[in-house]
Amino acid sequence: MEQSKHTWDSASKKVLNEAGVQKAPEDLMLNILDAIAKAGIEHIAYKPLISKKILLFIALAAVALLSIIVFLVPVEKYYLDGVDLSIGDRFSAFFGSIQFSKTVLYGVGFLGLFLIQIPFLKRILDN
């Protein structure tokens, strides 16, 4: 096996030495730059997908909608009034007398959100 490797090595060295090294012409770079300049490459101007008028209209509509919701809709009409958001009683009944600080709860919440985002980010990076 050592002899076949030596044979291939010497044969490849012989072929490479016979081929030699070719040098590029000295004015190759200038010729390339001249050809690019003669081609007249056009610069494409940036054009946004949504015009400024449409963006202004969307912003005004959002401000109008938010102001209508805040100032004209009475508080009694909100849908969240009938929802029971007191999960603290159920949480303390499940875990008993264990007390968690707000920092721990925030940390667990942010960790949960982070772990939920991982599959979405992976799918975006795969595409």
For residue range 65-115, list pLDDT tens digits in order.
998 887 887 666 566 566 665 666 666 666 666 777 889 889 999 999 888
Q: How many domains does the chain have?
A: 1
How much is the mean pLDDT over the chain?
Answer: 80
Q: How confident is the model at residue 42 (pLDDT cuts 50, 70, 90)?
A: confident
68 within domain boundaries: yes
116 within domain boundaries: yes
Specify which of 7-16, 47-56, 68-77 reaches the highest per-range mean pLDDT: 47-56
79 within domain boundaries: yes
Res 76: pLDDT? 61
Whether the model pTM is above 0.85? no
95 within domain boundaries: yes
Phi and psi at residue 58, to the nearest 5°: -65, -40
44 within domain boundaries: no
For 36, the token pair is 């690019």
**What is the domain extent for residue 106?**
52-126
